[in-house]
């Protein structure tokens, strides 16, 4: 770890992270042309759509006109399962990764050696921006497997020259043992597992701040500023956000650094980012929009204008930082997670922000969108008290009031006994349930009615 956390951590790749924005734009323009040429040569779905839009060569396309080009969606990838929109001969594919997805069918993504090298580079930058260096020991508690979390951190840590401890997710006793025996300074895992681990650490008698950890790099699922505070106090470290998606590369598409002012630096020399409204029009910086990425340099499954479904705001680089990359906010939600309750748009993250701002609420909770009576959709929230001393009735009433004020819509809050909400040890937390017309409410959730 860099010893002085107040000084910005040094750039791992100064040309890429610190060049003048105008110079980067020229590089992006050149790479965009090369990407379009690669897609046209591959002669697949994206080439057909490009030709349909009148594009005959990379030279026809400019960054200014990008918004006029066709978009690619997850549906397109599913329709080309299992090899996706592969653009190279199969022999050039060195590995596949992907995500299990909520609708059953995984999204698989083929990587070439070039792609893995890009991934290692952007992940080394992410780790460096968090203060890690060659002497760091990085405990990787993201899952290893098809999921990109473990492997992405692993590639980046090795590229940085640090020592990687590939524990994967779960087996909490072993995680605690390694924290004690090897004294890692960097922890990488999902934010929900960070809380789980922090609670386990505390239960084992270790006081926060007395351990070796200095920074944690948490992502792969939504988490709020409230969770950040909770994780920092449980684990005694600085908690940073990292964002990515398998379709684009995995983790490392964007990441917070110690000096990025709470926003995430986008690796925009490799992944050009746009934010669009539901009609597909670009939104100005600072306005929430759906993130759309173009993989300027990837070769296995290059994507032009991939709709991520993720909502965030974009902004320029941090002032006074050597990093000149554009930044994105923490994710505000997903296009398809947006709940419309009696005409009011609600993102689960807004509910979480209210819950986690109240110290009487424990870290495990569940949000239910109840549409069993389609004409009268309801929001239900189950929370666990943070201690036995908490008065359940008063908490439920006060949270109900705070939620109505924040969301503009009423919400049924139930305080359930500790241990009722399912825990996440491995994989991503599920904090949102949806009940549709005709659904039976599972027995364990009758308490919510
Ligand atoms: O979750 C890649 C990743 C691994 C990111 C480890 C960070 C750390 P997928 O499994 O394909 O890839 O899921 C991608 O997860 O579209 C977001 O909706 C969500 N997501 C990823 N990072 C964040 C984050 C990995 N920091 C999907 N905050 C994305 C909120 C996130 N949601």
* Residue 227 pLDDT > 70: yes
264 CA closest ligand 1 atom index: 26
Is the beta carbon of 128 within 6 A of some atom in ligand 1? no
Strands 306-312 and 314-315: unpaired
In this prediction, residue 3 has a pLDDT band, given cuts at 50, 70 and 90, of: very low
The residue with greater pLDDT, 137 or 84, is 137
In this prediction, residue 2 has a pLDDT band, given cuts at 50, 70 and 90, of: very low
Tokens of 47: 């080439």
The residue with greater pLDDT, 409 or 298, is 298
In this prediction, residue 374 has a pLDDT band, given cuts at 50, 70 and 90, of: confident
Q: Mean pLDDT across the stretch 262-282?
A: 96
Ligand 1 atom 1: residue of nearest CA: 220
State in Å: Cα 221 to ligand 1 middle.
Answer: 5
* Residue 344 pLDDT > 90: no
CA 78 to chain centre: 21
User: What pLDDT was estimated at residue 214?
Assistant: 97
Q: Mean pLDDT across the stretch 22-44?
A: 98
User: What pLDDT was estimated at residue 101?
Assistant: 53
Q: Mean pLDDT across the stretch 14-24?
A: 98
Instruction: Tell me the percentage of the chain whose pLDDT exceeds 90.
Output: 72
Instruction: Share the mean pLDDT of the chain.
Output: 92
User: What pLDDT was estimated at residue 209?
Assistant: 74
Q: Mean pLDDT across the stretch 288-305?
A: 97
Contact 27, 146 (CB under 8 A): no
Can you tell me the distance from the alpha carbon of 256 to that of 125, in angstroms, rounded to the nearest whole number?
A: 10
Residue closest to 361 by CA, chosen among 328, 403, 326, 324:
403
* C-alpha separations of 425 from 17, 167, 226, 380, 429 in Å: 35, 13, 20, 24, 8
State in Å: Cα 327 to ligand 1 middle.
Answer: 16
* C-alpha separations of 177 from 196, 200, 217, 313, 410 in Å: 15, 11, 20, 40, 45
Q: Mean pLDDT across the stretch 283-311?
A: 97
Domains defined for the chain, CATH in brackets: 14-22+82-333 (3.40.50.12780), 338-448 (3.30.300.30)
Strands (E), 336-376: 339-341, 344-346, 361-370
Can you tell me the distance from the alpha carbon of 205 to that of 22, in angstroms, rounded to the nearest whole number?
A: 53
In this prediction, residue 102 has a pLDDT band, given cuts at 50, 70 and 90, of: very low
Can you tell me the distance from the alpha carbon of 389 to that of 360, in angstroms, rounded to the nearest whole number?
A: 9
In this prediction, residue 1 has a pLDDT band, given cuts at 50, 70 and 90, of: low
In this prediction, residue 121 has a pLDDT band, given cuts at 50, 70 and 90, of: very high
In this prediction, residue 397 has a pLDDT band, given cuts at 50, 70 and 90, of: very high
Is the beta carbon of 312 within 6 A of some atom in ligand 1? no
Residues shown for the chain: 449
Angle at 273 between CA 272 and CA 277, to 5 degrees: 150
User: What pLDDT was estimated at residue 100?
Assistant: 67
Q: DSSP string of 215-246?
A: EEEEESS---HHHHHHHHHHHTSEEEEEEEET
Q: Which contacts qualify for 111-114: CB closer than 8 Å, 24 or more apart?
A: 111/300, 111/301, 112/88, 112/299, 112/300, 114/297, 114/298, 114/299, 114/300
334 CA closest ligand 1 atom index: 18
pTM, two decimals, is 0.83
CA contacts within 13 A on the Cβ side of 362: 25
* Residue 222 pLDDT > 60: yes
Sole residue written with tokens 């002669």: 43
* Residue 119 pLDDT > 90: yes
205: left (phi over 0), alpha (psi -120 to 50) or beta: left
Sole residue written with tokens 């398998």: 246
Which residues, listed in sequence order, are joined to residue 339 by a DSSP beta bridge? Answer: 346
The residue with greater pLDDT, 9 or 429, is 9
Tokens of 198: 């922090």
The residue with greater pLDDT, 252 or 350, is 252
Is the beta carbon of 264 within 6 A of some atom in ligand 1? no
Helices (H), 314-421: 348-356, 392-407
* Residue 10 pLDDT > 70: yes
Can you tell me the distance from the alpha carbon of 215 to that of 1, in angstroms, rounded to the nearest whole number?
A: 9
Output Rg (C-alpha) for the chain, integer angstroms.
22
State in Å: Cα 251 to ligand 1 middle.
Answer: 7
Q: Mean pLDDT across the stretch 113-138?
A: 98
User: What pLDDT was estimated at residue 340?
Assistant: 74
Q: Give every CB contact of residue 138 below 8 A, 6+ residues apart in sequence.
A: 127, 132, 153, 157, 162, 163, 164, 165, 184, 185, 186, 187, 188
User: What pLDDT was estimated at residue 4?
Assistant: 42
Is the beta carbon of 221 within 6 A of some atom in ligand 1? yes
Is the beta carbon of 310 within 6 A of some atom in ligand 1? yes
Contact 150, 140 (CB under 8 A): yes
Is the beta carbon of 193 within 6 A of some atom in ligand 1? no
Q: Mean pLDDT across the stretch 431-447?
A: 85
Least confident of 188-202, 224-238, 416-430: 416-430
User: What pLDDT was estimated at residue 343?
Assistant: 67
């Amino acid at each position: 770890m860099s010893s002085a956390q107040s000084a910005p951590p040094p750039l791992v790749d100064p040309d890429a992270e610190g060049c003048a924005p105008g110079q980067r734009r020229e590089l992006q323009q050149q790479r965009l042309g090369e990407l379009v040429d690669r897609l046209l040569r591959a002669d697949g779905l994206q080439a057909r759509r490009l030709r349909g839009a009148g594009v005959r060569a990379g030279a026809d396309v400019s960054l200014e006109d990008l918004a006029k080009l066709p978009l690619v969606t997850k549906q397109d990838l599913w329709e080309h399962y299992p090899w996706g929109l592969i653009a190279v001969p199969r022999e050039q594919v060195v590995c596949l990764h992907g995500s299990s997805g909520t609708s059953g069918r995984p999204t698989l993504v083929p990587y070439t050696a070039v792609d893995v090298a890009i991934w290692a580079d952007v992940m080394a930058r992410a780790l460096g921006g968090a203060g890690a260096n060659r002497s760091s020991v990085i405990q990787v508690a993201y899952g290893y497997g098809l999921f990109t979390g473990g492997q992405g951190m692993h590639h980046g840590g090795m590229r940085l020259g640090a020592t990687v401890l590939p524990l994967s997710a779960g087996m909490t006793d072993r995680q605690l043992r390694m924290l004690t025996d090897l004294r890692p300074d960097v922890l990488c895992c999902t934010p929900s597992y960070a809380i789980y681990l922090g609670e386990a650490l505390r239960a084992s008698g270790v006081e926060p701040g007395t351990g070796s950890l200095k920074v944690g790099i948490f992502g792969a699922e939504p988490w709020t500023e409230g969770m950040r505070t909770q994780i920092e106090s449980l684990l005694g470290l600085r908690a940073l956000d990292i964002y990515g998606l398998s379709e684009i590369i995995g983790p490392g598409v964007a990441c917070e650094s110690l000096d990025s002012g709470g926003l995430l630096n986008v690796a925009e020399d490799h992944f050009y980012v746009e934010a669009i409204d539901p009609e597909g029009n670009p939104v100005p910086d600072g306005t929430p929009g759906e993130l759309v990425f173009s993989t300027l340099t990837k070769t296995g499954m290059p994507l032009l204008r991939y709709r991520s479904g993720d909502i965030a705001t974009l902004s320029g680089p941090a002032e006074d930082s050597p990093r000149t990359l554009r930044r994105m906010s923490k994710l505000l939600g997903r296009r398809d997670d947006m709940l419309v309750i009696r005409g009011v748009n609600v993102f689960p993250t807004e509910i979480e922000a209210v819950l986690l701002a109240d110290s009487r609420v424990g870290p495990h909770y569940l949000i239910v969108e109840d549409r069993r009576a389609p004409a009268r959709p309801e929001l239900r929230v189950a929370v666990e008290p943070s201690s036995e001393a908490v008065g359940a009735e008063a908490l439920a009433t006060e949270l109900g009031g705070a939620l109505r004020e924040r969301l503009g819509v009423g919400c049924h809050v139930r305080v359930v006994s500790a241990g009722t909400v399912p825990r996440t040890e491995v994989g991503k937390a599920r904090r949102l349930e949806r009940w549709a017309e005709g659904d039976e409410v599972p027995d364990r959730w009758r308490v919510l009615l």
